[in-house]
Each structure stands twice: as structure tokens, then as C-alpha cells.
Amino acid sequence: MELDTMDRAPERPALPKIVKVSAEARAIEALRSQIITGMLPAGARITEVQLSGEMGLSRATVRTALHELQKEGLLRLKPYTGWTVIQLTRQDVWELYTLRSAVERLASQLAAGAPMEQRTRIQAAFDNLADACVDASAARIAEADFCFHHAIVDAASHSRLSAQYELIAQQIRVYIRSSDALIPDPADILSQHAPILNAILSGDSAEAGRLAEEHNLVEGEKLGQSIG
């Protein structure tokens, strides 16, 4: 009996899995983050040599990261000259918002048909947005706004749609950071988003899509006006 007890080690929690991430992937992430948060502002020039020194990585590794972000639309390469963070024209803004409206229309349609469990998450994101609109900073409201849209896109359970939406959203964030776009009135935000939520929750796919599309086109039009 005693031997049996002594032989059994006490239960302990499993160690967390160590997720392996290549230096390339980490460089991509770090760079993307700096671009999206505006630390690397629109129009900023970047060189592989500079980043290589800064990040303690070989230029080849940095180069891979830069090429990936170029593919995501966040950077522009001038061969043999350098890299630049994107600067968006009015045409670019129009393109981003029309494309986003198309994609988000689809996402909203799919979300309206999603299991209730997924739709509940959209409700939670809306509640979070509503809370933020009461007394939070503009930055927090903007973040909650993005989260609401992402909740819809996630509920669509469509990986390519999510990926595409993310690429569009990234570019829009770069633009917003570089523009003097006015932050919408919190009351407006809620009145714009509530109908979309309601259509999704009630399973009205066509209405959800129509409202989402319209919302994006209207917002895009407003944003486009803020280019000097």
C-alpha cells in the first residue's frame, strides 16, 4: 500500500506548448504592427540595411518580411532604392471602401445564417462598443468599432473572406492614422451599427448584407472627403 502511494507522483498541470515561430514570421509581425499603429507612418522610408541593424537580423530575413508586407499592400518597393509605407490617395480610399463593402456584405449575409453561438459573439462585440461609446476615449471607440466588424467577419466562418477583410482593414487603419478624419459621434456609431446587428441576430441575411454594404459605402464616402 505504502509503496503504491509513494510510486505515484502528484498530478501537475501540463506545460504549455511552445509555439515555434520563425524569425521571418516575427519580423513580419513586428513590422506590420509598427505600420498599423502609425509608429512607422504613411510615407516613411525604410531600408533593409537599417532594419537589419535595428532588428539584429540578417538582411535576407528582413527582406522576406518586407516582401510579404508589400504583398499585403502595406509597403511599396522601389527597386534598388528603398521601401516606403503606403500613402493612400482618394482613389485608394474609394477602392478600399468599395471592396470592403462588398466583402462585408457577404460576411454579414453569412453571419446572419451562422449558428446562434457565433451570432452571440457579435452581440457581445456590440455591447462592448456601446460601453465604449458611453465614456471611453476615441481610440477605444475606434478599436471597439473594428472589433464589432471583425466579429461579423469571424461569424462568417470563411477563412479567405477573413484574410481578405484583414488586408483591407489594415490599409484603412494606415490611412486613418495619416488623415485628419473626424471621429464620428458615438451616438451615430451606435445608430449605424444596431440595425446591422439586429438583422444578423434575426437571421435576415439579405437585410444584413444590404445594411452592411450601405454602412461601408457611407463611411467610405465620408472618409474620402478628409483627404486634403
Q: What residue ranges bind a second copy (CB under 8 A)?
A: 20, 22, 60, 63-64, 67-68, 71-73, 79, 95-96, 98-99, 101-103, 105-106, 110, 158-161, 164
Check residue 44 for interaction with DNA (CB under 7 A): no
Q: Between 6 and 19, name the residue whose CB sits nearer to DNA.
A: 19
- Point out which span in 47-55, 101-109, 114-122, 210-218 binds DNA (CB under 7 A): 47-55
Smallest distance, Å, CB 106 to a second copy? 4
Q: Between 81 and 159, name the residue whose CB sits nearer to DNA.
A: 81
The sheet that has 82-85: what strands, in order across it?
A: 45-46, 82-85, 75-78
**Is the Cβ–Cβ distance between 122 and 197 less than 8 Å?**
yes
| Binding residue (CB under 7 A) for DNA from 48, 68, 92, 204 | 48
Distances (CA, A) of 21 to 29, 59, 144, 204, 222: 11, 18, 29, 41, 40
Q: Between 5 and 159, name the residue whose CB sits nearer to a second copy.
A: 159
* E strands, the chain, in order: 45-46, 75-78, 82-85
Check residue 77 for interaction with DNA (CB under 7 A): yes
Distances (CA, A) of 34 to 29, 37, 113, 144, 171: 9, 5, 36, 20, 13
Smallest distance, Å, CB 81 to DNA? 4
Check residue 121 for interaction with DNA (CB under 7 A): no
Q: Whose CA is closest to 125, among 172, 57, 193?
A: 193
Q: Which residues contact 163 (CB under 8 A, 6 or more apart)?
A: none
Count CA atoms closer than 13 A to 55's CA, side-chain side.
26
- Selection from DNA, a second copy, none that 78 binds (CB < 5 to 8 A by kind) is DNA
Q: Between 101 and 118, name the residue whose CB sits nearer to a second copy.
A: 101
Q: Between 65 and 197, name the residue whose CB sits nearer to a second copy.
A: 65
Check residue 53 for interaction with DNA (CB under 7 A): no
Total residues found in the chain within this entry: 228
Taking the C-alpha atoms of residue 222 and residue 225, their distance in angstroms, rounded to an integer, is: 5
- Point out which span in 30-38, 76-84, 125-133, 212-220 binds DNA (CB under 7 A): 76-84
- Residues of the shown chain interacting with DNA in the complex, contacts defined by CB under 7 A: 20, 22-24, 46-50, 56-61, 63-64, 77-83
